[in-house]
Amino acid sequence: MAVPYAQKMAESQKEISISDFFAKNRQILGFDNPSKAMLVSVKEAVDNSLDACEEAGLLPKIFVKILRTGNKDRFILTVRDNGPGIVKKQIPNVFGRLLYGSRFHAIRQSRGQQGIGISSVVLYSQLTTGKTTTVISKIGEDYPCHKMEILINTKLNRPQIVSSEVVLWEPAHGTEFQCEIVGRYQKNKKQSVLEYLRSTAIVNPHVEIIFEDPDEEVFRFQRVVDKLPEHAKESKPHPHGIELGVLKNMLHYTEARKLTSFLTNEFTRISPRGARGLLDKADIPDKLNPKRLSLDKIQGLYEGMQNMKFMSPPTDCLSPIGDRLIRKGLRKEIDSKFAYTVTRDAKVFRGTPFQIEAGIVYGGELSAGEQVQILRFANRVPLQYQQGGCAMTHAIERINWRPYGLEQRGGKGIPVGPAVILIHIASTNVPFTSESKEAVADVDEIIDEAVRALMDCGRRIKSHINKKKKLKKVSEKYTLIKEILPEIARKSSEIVKKPQLALDEVITKIMNVHVIDTGIHYREVGEGENKQQHTEVTIKVQNYTQKERIFKLLVKVPDTLIQGIYPESYKMKGEVIEWDVGPVSPARSVHLGFTLLGLDKDEYEEVDVFYSKLPGEVIGADPA
């Protein structure tokens, strides 16, 4: 009797190791080609270092070195940090085991969550060079420093320790990762290691990075703030953010003995009263043991959760960069005339909280005839590839940029002009399009929020451009009048042999406009520990009309210390200074001002001035 073919098939079927799978499909993790492999390897190691330092409350200092070997296609990558280090028994698992980590089940914002990143670099190194990866780690000054050489057993997805020893190491704590990879180093490319590190410094202004490239050139990215970002707190699942199968597993493995305690303890935003109401609608006894629910009852509970209204999930599980710090990072790395940034309020998609931040820098040395540069970030990590397939790019393309002062060839697509557009998503679960985490999926809620943030930036760019154009035009007109009219008056008086007339009334008739001109002057006062940063703001209101004016002037100021406000007849309403100005006679001006303390140079670069009760044309301010 012949053996059934199904039996032969069964004999050849066996479990596939996750390491074995990725070894044969490394492009899924981003190791498509040598150039990309180089960038991904640096990225994964730096991300690990940043997360470790921040979790331990340490300001990150990271050293990256890429060294050429005798083989032109091979490089030795070294990444060293000042983080908390890794205990000896965990070193092999962290670096030699895929899908091993502490963040996968944690609902909070972090760079890495899958436990694939750094171990995938070890796997790629092993596949392409056959070499071991060396890890040196020390957890404290009074503790030994361990050095290990590691490989990955791809059949078992387990680390293989080739050697282990205690060594002397100067740093008090930290980790050094070194591997040899097949790669290609590109120096002056958009998708290069240098640009990745520069972008990382922009959205992580608290980090210091030192990079030594294969040509032994050293680049330093200094930190601009000495404060760590707000720590993202861990949250529980939101009832609108789970699938039926997830709910079934949670019910099976819960330690709760009653459904009410299961719902209130293992979900966010479900109160005891809400839990009882939910169970009543699903016709399920509230004291029933969760493990005893039938599939029909689980289905009913799930549908009830999806149909019931709950508060949005808490947002303390997110840690946005903040518009002020984004602006500082942009100004530090990009030479421009103007920068504006915005942080939107947190929103939700499928029960998952997220927050969009955006910024635009404009002018300066940026090229006016090329497409704007797009800087995309997810949880403070630069996204260097798949720009065209990313929701953030699609949001940019959806906007008509022409009204905002940027060209758009064909009326759509990425705009052209002297600008750089930055967009960042912070989320507990960024919906990437693939495991390589290079592009964000087209989720409607994310695209809508991104569009709103970008349009806000666009309006500020438009206001800035228009204000500069109008001020320049008025200034040229006024200069011309001041030069020509006196000469005409002088010649006329000579001809008719009469005294020269006053020109103020004539000038106001010709100009017929109110001009509000602002100035920002930065200086440092004192020395050493007593040194203070002063940003002095001056406002000049010129009445080029024929009537005396009395009006209100309002200025929005940043959240910092303010002193020396003048004139003293002002009111402070939150972050707004309000003056009652006047009377200001025709052809006369009035001066106002204040001093901001503690801001870096160029951190405050445009004064938001508003007015009310001032008729006619006003240049340099917006109506309140």
Average pLDDT over residues 401-414: 85
Domain ranges of the chain: 18-221, 239-307, 323-463, 502-623
Q: Name which CATH class applies to 323-463.
A: alpha beta
> What pLDDT is attached to residue 5?
61
* Mean pLDDT on 95-112: 65
The CATH number given to 18-221 is 3.30.565.10
| Percent of the chain whose predicted confidence (pLDDT) is above 90 | 33
- Antiparallel, parallel or unpaired: β 61-68 and 208-212: parallel
pLDDT of residue 472: 75
Across 168-301, where does the E strand assignment appear? Answer: 174-182, 208-212, 218-221
Multiple choice CATH, 239-307, 1.10.8.50, 1.10.1740.10, 3.30.70.100, 1.10.1760.20: 1.10.8.50
pLDDT given for residue 393 in this prediction: 94
Q: Could you report the per-residue pLDDT of 482-499, keeping only the tens digit for each?
A: 777 777 777 777 777 777
Confidence of residue 560 (pLDDT cuts 50, 70, 90): confident
pLDDT at 122 over 80: yes
Residue 101 above 60 pLDDT?
A: no
Classify the phi-psi angles of 528: left when phi > 0, otherwise alpha if psi is within -120 to 50, otherwise beta. Answer: left
**pLDDT tens-digit map of 318-338:** 888 888 888 888 877 777 778
| CATH class of segment(s) 502-623 | mainly beta
Q: What is the pLDDT of residue 114?
A: 45
Provide the pLDDT for residue 502. 63
pLDDT tens digits for range 144-200: 999 999 998 888 888 999 999 999 999 999 999 999 999 999 887 778 899 999 999
Between 75 and 349, the more confident residue is 75
38: Cβ contacts below 8 Å, ≥ 6 apart:
66, 75, 77, 181, 183, 184, 185, 186, 193
Span 106-131, mean pLDDT?
76
pLDDT of residue 18: 56
Task: Convert the pLDDT of each residue in 488-530 to its tens digit.
Answer: 777 777 777 777 666 667 777 777 888 888 889 988 888 877 8
pLDDT at 353 over 60: yes
* Residues 235-245 pLDDT 10s: 888 888 888 88
